[in-house]
Amino acid sequence: MRISSLALFSSALFLILTSCGGKDDQAENTIVPDSSASSALDSILLSEAPEGSVDITKARQNPIPGTKVILSGKVMGNVNPIIQSRALLTLGDPAKITSCDLIPGDDCKTPWDVCCADPDIVNTSIATIQVLDENGQPIKAGLRGIGGLRELSTLIIVGEVAEASNENNFLVNATGIHVATAQAAGNNSAK
């Protein structure tokens, strides 16, 4: 089960890199994406919103690997929801967790970290989204900027539940990404 092991490793790496209090992965990014990686990421952008999307919480109820899914959510769930050097991101369910920019009076510099939310609710309301290369590994280029994608963007993801998915770790291999709302730059935006 090579794909399952790789997906599990990817998930573990993602969680380590994005845990609270972790270092900013932008500062440590030493991988320069090649043009084929950028092309592959550009090719998964969907100009039209796919119909029939479900929220992450509902999709997590049946995490059977190989199941086709269309998810909607918001890029949030931890301090670094977009990995700079790999095509990985955290998508949160805005019906269950609230980003700090939507909390009156909260001037958090990283509102996508959902630091005010109950960690147990956050854990059951997020999905790890990855875009794989021809070898079944996350593409070595970040998703930030693709189609305007950044922290707090609203996305619709078309994909398949990955082999390593289970009730505690919802992992989706994306084959299409629609950026429904790209978060505008401002006081609470990514660097």
pLDDT tens profile 136-151: 999 999 999 999 999 9
User: Model confidence at 39, in pLDDT bands (50, 70, 90)?
Assistant: confident
pLDDT of 184: 53
- pLDDT of the residue at 108: 87
Contacts of 95 (CB under 8 A, 6+ apart): 55, 57
Query: pLDDT at position 6, please?
Result: 42
| pLDDT tops 80 at residue 64 | yes
- Tell me the whole-structure pTM to 2 decimals: 0.79
Question: What is the structure's pLDDT at 35?
Answer: 62
pLDDT at 70 over 70: yes
Q: Binning pLDDT at 50, 70 and 90, where does residue 40 land?
A: confident
Q: Does 31 have pLDDT greater than 60? A: no
Residue 74 has pLDDT above 60, yes or no: yes
Predicted confidence at residue 15, as pLDDT, reads 43
**Quick one: average pLDDT of 1-22?**
42
Please measure the distance between the N-terminal and C-terminal CA atoms of the chain and give it in whole angstroms: 38
CA distance 155 to 75: 7
Which residues touch 11 (CB under 8 Å, ≥6 apart)?
A: 128, 164, 169, 171
